[in-house]
Amino acid sequence: MTPMRVGFVGGGEHARMSLLPSLRHALGGAPEGLPALVATHAGAQLPPLLGELVALAEHKSDHAERIAAVHGIQRVYANHEDMLAHEDLDCVIVCLHPRLQPDVAIACLNAGVHVFLEKPQAESVAESLRIRDAAARNGKQVAVAFMKRFSAPYLRARQIMELPAFGAPSMYEARFTYARYPVDVYNFLNGFGIHHLDLPRFFMGDVDTVSAERVSRGEGLDGYAITLRFCSGALGLLNINCLESSFTNWSERLSISGVGSSLHVENWRRVIAFIAGEDEMRYWEPEDIQPTDAANSLNLHGFVGELRDFVTSVAGNHAPASTLQDGIESVRLQEAIELSVHSGRRVALKEIAA
């Protein structure tokens, strides 16, 4: 198979620290994803490379050159238009502010390439639908970077929840905290809380209605108390706030109640479960004392997985596991929460057209 030609748009901190190193792993070359030559130490043949990162679009030229040098990127462009005009690409990774991503994504789709978008894909459902229309018009795939769906703790939790003995998932509870945020740059729910507007659907299915209240303690200091009713009849409680500490999101907890069973994920790491009919508690956390590929935080936390899934979906011509529609539904829930806060009533998700 000829390796895919991959382009990248953006050079911010998240791109440099998370996506670019993860993409190098995700494109293949070793069984666990880390770069290698042609064989393992044991002499086993390595899987073929899925793709090559050949071009970067980043408007800060000195910044772009340093990124290219570190990651072995062949060519650098000042903007995505020049990159699309001069490169024959199969897919593009876009990591920008959600306000900027729709126009870039649409340009890429119109150029005939598949697109991976950092989450959230846009600031509104309306802007998200522009991307969806362009993808349908051009017959191309769009993935959204919900890496928590690919992270080891949440995948382990979902496997436990799907055990027959767990019983029907009936109650969902999550807590996510962040620090004061720049209100002139981001919408808090959109820019920071979006994972915990996606994870309820990942675990429990579609949301039917939502009721929310907000407390504000100053500029960029907000808290949301949110109740969900899922289409399955299950209920959910969300505490999403930016009131704690100076810069942290360590307080991330998730619990799901089945029937006679429960599971808990503490700080996106430790999984504890009590299963009906089992005498002993189930316990899991990553064994990351030794520096192995599997224990690499980029693998554990899903960054490698989300990108590998995307390039695999492009190579296999099938939908990614984290789709643009998943991204649309998360922003749809965001807008329903905001409507509930402003109107003081429970809002049906069907009121937010998507």
Give tens-digit pLDDT for 200-233: 999 999 999 999 999 999 988 999 999 999 999 9
> Do residues 218 and 224 lie in contact, with contact meaning Cβ atoms separated by under 8 Å?
no
pLDDT at residue 25, as a whole number: 82
| % of the chain with per-residue pLDDT over 90 | 79
DSSP-assigned beta bridge partners for residue 272: 264, 283
The number of C-alpha atoms within 13 Å of 210 and in the hemisphere containing its C-beta is 29
For the cut 50, the answer to whether the pLDDT of residue 32 exceeds it is no
Contacts of 184 (CB under 8 A, 6+ apart): none
Token representation of residue 71: 């990651």
Token representation of residue 197: 């507007």
Query: What does the pLDDT look like over 269-288, one tens digit per residue?
Result: 999 999 999 999 999 999 87
> Do residues 112 and 140 lie in contact, with contact meaning Cβ atoms separated by under 8 Å?
yes
Residue 25 or residue 193, greater confidence: 193
Listed range (60-64, 125-129, 240-244, 291-295) with the worst mean pLDDT: 291-295
pLDDT category, 183, cuts 50, 70, 90?
confident
Enumerate long-range contacts of 78-83, CB under 8 Å, 24 or more apart: 80/7, 80/9, 80/104, 80/107, 80/108, 81/107, 82/57, 83/7, 83/9, 83/55, 83/56, 83/57
pLDDT at residue 180, as a whole number: 83
For the cut 50, the answer to whether the pLDDT of residue 37 exceeds it is no
Contacts of 79 (CB under 8 A, 6+ apart): 57, 59
pLDDT category, 29, cuts 50, 70, 90?
low
Listed range (6-20, 95-109, 185-199, 247-261) with the worst mean pLDDT: 247-261
Give the Cα separation of 197 and 210 in Å (integer).
11
For the cut 60, the answer to whether the pLDDT of residue 42 exceeds it is no
Among 261, 253, 298, smallest CA distance to 277 is for 261
Phi, psi for residue 67 in degrees, rounded to 5? -60, -45
> Do residues 167 and 260 lie in contact, with contact meaning Cβ atoms separated by under 8 Å?
yes
The number of C-alpha atoms within 13 Å of 127 and in the hemisphere containing its C-beta is 17
Give the Cα separation of 147 and 118 in Å (integer).
9
For the cut 70, the answer to whether the pLDDT of residue 248 exceeds it is no
Token representation of residue 94: 């876009």
- Alpha carbon separation from 347 to 199, 229, 298 (Å, rounded): 19, 10, 37
Whole-number mean pLDDT of the chain? 92
For the cut 50, the answer to whether the pLDDT of residue 234 exceeds it is yes
| % of the chain with per-residue pLDDT over 70 | 92
| pTM, entire model | 0.93
For the cut 90, the answer to whether the pLDDT of residue 30 exceeds it is no
